[in-house]
Amino acid sequence: MSKNFKLEDSKIWCELKHLERTAGPDGLIDLTRLWHAAGRPKGRSPRQRYPKDCRRYKDFGRILRHDGRSADAPAWATVNTAYDYCQYLDPRIMMAMNDFFWAQMERDPVGSLMEAPDPAKAMVGLFVKHIVATQSGGSHEDAARKIVSDVVKRTSGLDDLQQETEVAKAQRAVRGERPIHGRGDGETVEEGLA
């Protein structure tokens, strides 16, 4: 990424931050306003990026409400979808967010794993295991034990069932296993990529 690029200099990013601050009680963001901030690039409207029949994880990656049929009519989506859309509109935003993600993961790998959405935990778990092994100078097996031990400590204030759930998620993640409620139960990330 160009070291000269700053998110604050991006009209798209500034519009997203403004929309986040002024979002209504439902917390939805008008993707059409982001498209306008980008200069209305042809072929990149919110409706083209997120077709109505597109199936994604829960409310991520889809428009939840349309206010009209014209290209300029508001298209409402979650904040996470708005972040995804900003990255689609400007690859420099994607690179800046990628840099932030990796810096955060290296600062607090276990926290990053615990905060990762369930569908991504297995992939994040493999990265975290490698980062912890590299930082500690140990094996991946040692890193997996250290990660699970850290999750046990960080969840000690939860009730037994919540703690057990978080620990089980971490154990599955460091083995590279997908969440049990996801597609391909018991399949590892490596098997899914093969």
Please, is 31 exposed, middle or buried when counting C-beta atoms within 10 Å of its C-beta (0-12, 13-18, 19+)? buried
Task: Give the dihedral of Cα atoms 115, 118, 120, 125; nearest 10 deg.
Answer: 70
Can you read off the two tokens belonging to residue 104? 């955060």
Distance from C-alpha of 139 to C-alpha of 28, rounded to nearest angstrom = 44
The share of the chain scoring above pLDDT 70, in percent, equals 84
pLDDT tens across 136-174, in order? 999 999 999 999 999 999 999 999 999 999 999 999 999
Same domain, 64 and 41: yes
The residue segments making up the domain with residue 171 are 108-193
Residue 102 lies in a domain: no
Residue 101 lies in a domain: no
Give the predicted TM-score (pTM) of the model.
0.65
Same domain, 131 and 51: no
Last residue in a domain, options 44, 61, 96? 96
Domain count along the chain: 2
For residue 185, name the pLDDT band (cuts at 50, 70, 90).
Answer: very low
**Phi/psi at 111 (nearest 5 deg)?**
-60, -40
Last residue in a domain, options 71, 96, 121? 96
pLDDT tens across 12-45, in order? 999 999 999 998 778 889 999 999 999 999 989 8
